Amino acid sequence: MIEKLTGQTWDKALRQRLIDPLGLRHTVTLPEEAILLSAAVGHQAPAGEEPRPVTTFLLPRSIGPAGLITASTADVLAFARLHLTRGLGPQDNRLLSEDSATAMTERHADVPNKHAFGDSWGLGWMRFDWDGRLVIGHDGGTVGQFAYLRIVPELDLAVTCSPTAAALWTSTRSCSGPVRRNRRYCLAPPVSPPAQPIDVDAAPYIGAYERPAAASRSSRATRVCVSAPS
């Protein structure tokens, strides 16, 4: 749709409308640009083995908007600042209308599984309700790499973690620390079993479940087994 409306490739439209106006010097979309930035290579760990570099550096260009942006942590935070200021660039130049910035954070669709991708979706943003406080963000994964972004408008705070930092992000989620004006903020804790086990009839769900599609990407299928309690 971007290419149809602008008459440009997605890469050029992104650079003209966001990357250059925001002064993002380490944000690119093409492999010939990424190689000049000493970009990190993704790693995967086959079962029982040490992590090793992936054999595919980037996703196919045909799905560029889904995961071909290579950016430094500082550039991701500069992008987050655009949304904390409701559309203002680094020189107070308006790059996004305030109405559009607001609409992006508003609830547009609920998410049935609130432990997977947020409580609800805005326009592009995942939405979270953490103790009554609105948090927006987005996660992403390519071949052996992951990135995470959370924005807390009420605190004027943004946190990002990338690129191969799933374990670090998981540990960070349970931490708290001082932030602006001596307030303390704690990221939502990871999902864990209840202290008191739930009494439920698991008989209808006993069996093995596989996701074969995952095998083509990681050389192993995702397998979940449900068994009766002993």
Residue with tokens 């326009």: 123
In a domain, 196, yes or no: no
Residue-wise pLDDT tens digits, 52-105 = 898 888 888 888 888 899 999 999 999 999 999 999 999 999 999 999 999 999
In a domain, 162, yes or no: yes
In a domain, 230, yes or no: no
Question: Tell me, what CATH number does 118's domain have?
Answer: 3.40.710.10
In a domain, 228, yes or no: no
Residue-wise pLDDT tens digits, 112-153 = 887 777 889 999 999 998 878 899 999 888 888 888 899 999
pTM equals: 0.76
In a domain, 227, yes or no: no
Host domain of residue 122: 2-186
Residue-wise pLDDT tens digits, 175-217 = 434 343 334 444 556 677 888 888 888 888 888 887 765 444 4
Per the structure, the count of domains in the chain is 1
In a domain, 215, yes or no: no
In a domain, 199, yes or no: no
In a domain, 197, yes or no: no
